[in-house]
Every structure is written in structure tokens, then in C-alpha cells.
Chain A
Amino acid sequence: MTCITDAKVISHRRVAAGCRRLVLAAPDIARAVKPGQFLHVRCDGGTHAGYPRGAPTRGTHVSGLGWVGSADLLLRRPLSVYDADRERGTVTILYRVVGRGTALLAEKRTGGRVNVLGPLGRGFEPPGYPRGVPTWGTHVSGSGWVGHRRVAIVGGGLGVAPLFFLARELSAGVSEDARPDPTRPDPLGVPALAGRVPRAGAPGGYPRVPARPAVAVFQGARTAPELDLADFSVLPVDLFTATDDGSRGYAGSVVELFLDTVCHEPVDWVSAAGPPGMLRALAGALQTLGLPGEFSLEERMGCGIGACVCCSCRIGTPERWEYRRVCADGPVFPAREVVWE
């Protein structure tokens, strides 16, 4: 269930040059949101004028006649949910100040309110997820695995924003202790990346059934400080980092790093987000490797709820595609169906 709410700012802090993390109290959204979904955010300080259900919320309007908000910043801004805390009822947004809307958002102080609409869109759906969360990858059917054992999460720059939540949810349940230690046999049988644990079908038979998929995160950034945007290092995931300037991790693009790595440590599925250039290169890599996956796309939006058809992207094959709505049909689409210009 989506809702529209004037969410209270719980905290708002700078995490890297020009980038901020905003924690909002929005219990209904926190309960409902799935990784990859986004919020449509009013950055101008405007409040909800109409009524979601029930009586009109008078008082938000100057004597019911005026517009609360700026006439000079109209459209909402789509921002991914970086993380959600269902118990505390909070959602976190990670964003970069790039224009007027995000600059206004950056001025919000703790205790203030931000009008958000969400959660919106179709998020990440690696097979078996989210419907199959508890049994993810734990089934060995007669013919093989149901679900994916090794999921790669690939993010470039701010593209990591929707991916942290996914990585956390996928890896949840794999506690720090359960994290595979290459020097001793893994008690839970959670396979880390291949090479450390016998692969399915390898001599010695199947490894014990993992409780969750193993998650490998590939994070790319221009420079080292940008890698600190997301807290992947606190998660029980295998983290691979790349920077354009080589200031930390692999020197080069995250797609190159991904290719280099998966050659000897294969994955079964890729969930990715990032700049179009990165996704396009990754799409090529996935095609070469014959790997399935999904990409989160960005497009300029109007309504954000699927009505105005302003947010079109091309989905299909290069010969036969149609415009689909990033806000409602996406933002996450099957990687091989994204048609690049």
C-alpha cells in the first residue's frame, strides 16, 4: 500500500562530498517497502493538499485557497529507498545534490517534515524473492536449485542507493559468525564465492544447503571517498570495490572488476543499478556470459504513479520494443530486455 505523508526528519547527515543520507519517520512506508522501490519526494517544503482518504486536510492550505509549497519547484523528485527499519518505522534515502530539488532537500533539518509519496514502483525480484524469502535457495528439487545461490549486486556511484537494502535483505540471516571462513569448514554450509566451497555437482557432491544465497557486492566509484556512501562492509557479503582513479580497490570500472571476478567465481544472477554507461557495459557482459539479471533504470518523472506516461524507457528487443513506465512497470527491469539507444 502506498501512501502520501509528511514524514518527520529523524536525521540528515553528509556522507561524502555532496551526498547526504536522510532518515525519515514513515512507518507505513517502512512496513511496505521492498528493495528497489522509490519515494517521490517534494523538495520544496510543500505539504499534501488533498486527501488520501477521508476528510480534506484543511490547514495544510492557507485558508484552503492557497498552494502550500513553492510555485518555483513543482515536480517531485524520485529517490530510492536506501534502507528501511520496520521496527523503528523509518526509511533512509541516500542522495547526491545535483540540482535545485536536491539542493532544497539538503536544507531540511532534523525535526522538519518532508512530503513523500511511496513506496512506488516494482523493485528487485531475483527469482524466488520476495515471495520465496524464507526458502530462498534452500530447495534442491529433483532437477536442481530453485532460486539462486550466488547473487551479484553491482552498483556504480549513486547507483548503490537502492542496492544496499537489497544486499541487506538478501544476506539477512547470515550472521557474522556464519560468514564463511575459508580456513575452516563452514558450519552452515553457506557457500561463499566459488573456489572456496565445492560447487554444486563438484566432486564431493552438493555442499550443504545454504539458508540464504551468498551475496557478492561489486561497488564502483570515481574515488575512494565515494565508496563510503553505502555501508556494505557491515553486511555479511563479499565486497569487491573499484575506483576510476585507483585510490581504493581495483583500478578501473566496476564492470571490468565484475568480469574479472566472475570468471573464476561464478554467480547465477545479477541485480544492478548505476549510470547508464555502466549498465550498458554490464548488459554486454551479461550477454557474453549468458547471465540473467535485472537493472534499475532512471528517467525523468511526472506523477510517479503510472498515469502521465512521462517516464518512458524502451523495453523489449532492439527490433521489437515498446515504451514502458519506469515508475510503475519499473524502475527495475530484466537486464536483457532493456533496449539501449
Chain B
Amino acid sequence: MKAKTAVDIAGLKLKNPVLTASGTVGFGEEYAPYLDLSGLGALVVKTVTLKPRAGNPPPRITETPAGVINAVGLQNPGVEALVADILPRLARFDVPVIVSIAGETAGEYARLAGRLDGVPGIAALEVNISCPNVKAGGIAFGTEPAMTAEVVRLVKENTALPVIAKLSPNVTDIRIIALAAAGAGADALSLINTLSAMVIDVERRRPLLGNVFGGLSGPAVRPVAVRAVWQAYRAVEVPLIGMGGIMAARDALEFILAGARAVAVGTANLVDPGAAAAVAAGLEQYLAEQGIGDVNELVGAAHRTGG
């Protein structure tokens, strides 16, 4: 018998727990030739802002041991282009679309939420309060419990859509931020965004990335991310979406066992554009091999057997 893979996140029924992580597949279209988007639990698209953003000077990406540092700087065409051009094109892919938003002020988050409320083709909002690559806003909101709560509350007030808060690992205690977001009404939490990081080009004796700092992702951050999910699972009741270095189904299982009801694949998409589908297929195979009838049985299971 085929195991049940459907999960419920913030009232959304997803056919399986595998999502794309914001920013790693753009708006999905470029990936369609390599990845069956309709086979995903949901497509989380690149973070959009009120106005188009040019992004940071190059170089924007570099590889580090078992990881990648990026400093794209939220380059995006802006919310109006999303609504007018992109969302209508995504309709044909038959996949729930989660729109990621970021503002420079709490008011901008509110306006973005208001603008997107009622727009067809959006399943949920992911509130990016954790981008380390922009000077104003972004991560600033995600490192202060009061500001986290303020942004989440404003977004909730301005939308009828489920609201997912995306948390930063660059904090002293992620439980405090998780509690603040959940307390302000977040329907689910995504964690983690990238870790603030940098590389110095020794030949040129200067920072390698155009933006100096970037965000570390990939297998190098996975243990940090699993720990964050584990802690958040114990701190809050809302469903968690775990991400950070998921390259294959085994990695996704770590997150699920730590308490994530869904997972997102990010950096792996850059390496293999079919990675998210492989993770979903691998999860199914694991459930079948282990005789587990429903993936939900595994959510947080490691808390019950250890720790």
C-alpha cells in the first residue's frame, strides 16, 4: 500500500511535504523542464518587495566547504510584476504557490500583504524577516522578538491567507523568536534562512562577495538547522517547515523527525534541478520500505524516542 504523504500546513493541504526554498528556483518557470512542479507539495517563490530591487553587486555566490554563500540581495521584479505577469503564468503548473515577501519597514510588509490579499493563485504568504543580504529591513526584523511580532501581526491583519514566518538562525535563542512569531498569529514557521557569513579572497586580499557578507546554506548548515527545528518544535505548537542543506530524502527525514511537518529544498536545486523531486520520491520509498502508513507519524518522532 502506498503511504500517505499529504500534510496539512497552516490549513493548506499539500500532497507531500516537499517544498522549494525561496530564492533557489526563482519563480519556478526555469525549473519546469527539469522538475515536475506539480509533484511538489508547494512552490515557494523568490522573495518579492514592494518596488523592484536591483540586488547586490557581483560576485553574488561562492562555494565554501560543503556550503554555498550567496548575496543576491533580494533582486526581484517587485510585487506588481508578480501579480500582473508571473502569477498568471504559474497557474498552468498545478502547484500551490507560496509567495515570500520582505519589506524595509513593518509598514511595507503590511502593504505587501494587503496588495496580495485576494489575488488569485496564492496559497499562502511566507514572511521573510530573515534575509541577511539587505541593508535595511530583512533580518533586522527577525532578530528582535518585538519586531518579529509586530511584522507578523501587521501581515496577519492585512491578509486572509495563511501566514508563514521565516526565521533567521542568526539569533541567540531561536525559541524566543519562534514564540514571538507564533504568539503574533503566524500559522506556521519556516526555518532556517541562511547564516550570515563571508569569504576573503586571499589572492586579492579583499572580501570575495560584492556585498562583503552573504548567507551560508547547503549541507554545512544542516546540523544547525536541524537543531533549530528541534528547539522550535518544543517551544511552539504551530507547524514547522524545516530547511537547510537538504540534498536528499535522508536529510529531509532528519528534519521531519526533529519536528518539521514539511521541508524545503534550497541549495540542492542549484546542483541538481531535479533534487526536490528526488527528495519527494525518496521519502515515499522510505515510508514504503519501513512500512509506515503516513508521513505524519514521523513528525517529531525523535522527540519521543530520545532527547
Contacts and interface: CB of A to CB of B under 8 A. Distances in A.
- A, B co-complexed: yes
Interface of A: 2, 4, 42, 46, 48-53, 56, 58, 61, 63-67, 69, 71-76, 117, 299-303, 305-313, 322-323, 328
Given A51-B277, A308-B24, 12 more contacts: A42-B271, A48-B272, A50-B272, A64-B278, A300-B61, A302-B61, A302-B68, A308-B72, A309-B46, A309-B60, A310-B72, A323-B55
Contact of B267 (A65, A74, A301): A74
A328 to B, nearest CB: 7
Interface in B85-101: none
A74 to B, nearest CB: 5
Nearest to A60: B278
B248 A50 contact: no
Given A311-B58, A322-B54, A75 B270 contact: yes
A77 B232 CA distance: 37
A75 B54 contact: no
Nearest to A312: B58
Contacts of A48: 272, 274
Contact of B248 (A42, A52, A65): A65
Contacts of B30: 303, 305-307, 328
11 contacts: A48-B272, A50-B273, A56-B277, A64-B278, A75-B270, A301-B61, A302-B61, A303-B26, A307-B24, A309-B46, A312-B60
B272 A308 contact: no
B34 A4 contact: yes
Query: Which are the 8 A-B pairs with shortest beta-carbon distances?
Result: A50-B274, A307-B26, A49-B278, A64-B282, A64-B285, A310-B61, A307-B30, A67-B247
B274 A65 contact: no
A303 B267 CA distance: 9
Contacts of A117: 34, 273
Nearest to A100: B63
B276 interface: yes
A69 B271 contact: yes
A50 B58 contact: no
A56 B278 contact: yes
B16 interface: no
A50 B251 CA distance: 16
A310 B34 CA distance: 19
Given A306-B26, A323-B54, A52 B70 contact: no
A75 B61 CA distance: 10
Given A65-B285, A312-B60, A72 B66 contact: yes
Contacts of A49: 248, 272, 274-275, 278
Contacts of A305: 30-31, 34, 273
B75 interface: yes
B2 interface: no
B75 A309 contact: yes
Interface in B270-307: 270-278, 281-282, 285-286, 289
A47 B267 CA distance: 16
Contacts of B29: 307
B274 A52 contact: yes
A50 B270 contact: no
Contacts of B35: 50
Interface string B217-250: 0110000000000000000000000000001111
B270 A56 contact: no
A65 B282 contact: yes
A66 B251 CA distance: 8
B65 interface: yes
Given A63-B285, A65-B282, A310-B72, A74 B249 contact: no
A299 B26 CA distance: 18
B120 interface: no
Nearest to B52: A322
B60 A50 contact: no
A42 B65 CA distance: 16
A50 B219 contact: no
Contacts of B278: 49-51, 56, 61, 64
B63 A73 contact: yes
B62 A300 contact: yes
B36 interface: yes
Nearest to A313: B58
Contacts of B70: 302, 308, 310
Interface string B19-39: 000011111111101111000
Contacts of B281: 56, 58, 64
A311 B34 contact: no
B194 interface: no
Nearest to B23: A308
B183 interface: no
A71 B66 contact: yes
A246 to B, nearest CB: 26
B270 A64 contact: no
A310 B60 contact: yes
A308 B66 CA distance: 19
Nearest to A47: B272
Contacts of B28: 307
Contacts of B218: 71, 74
Contact of A50 (B26, B57, B59, B276): B276
Contacts of B286: 64-65
A301 B274 CA distance: 18
Contacts of B59: 299-300
Contact of B65 (A65, A72, A76): A72
Contacts of A322: 54
Contact of A76 (B23, B27, B271, B285): B271
Nearest to B62: A300
Nearest to A71: B219
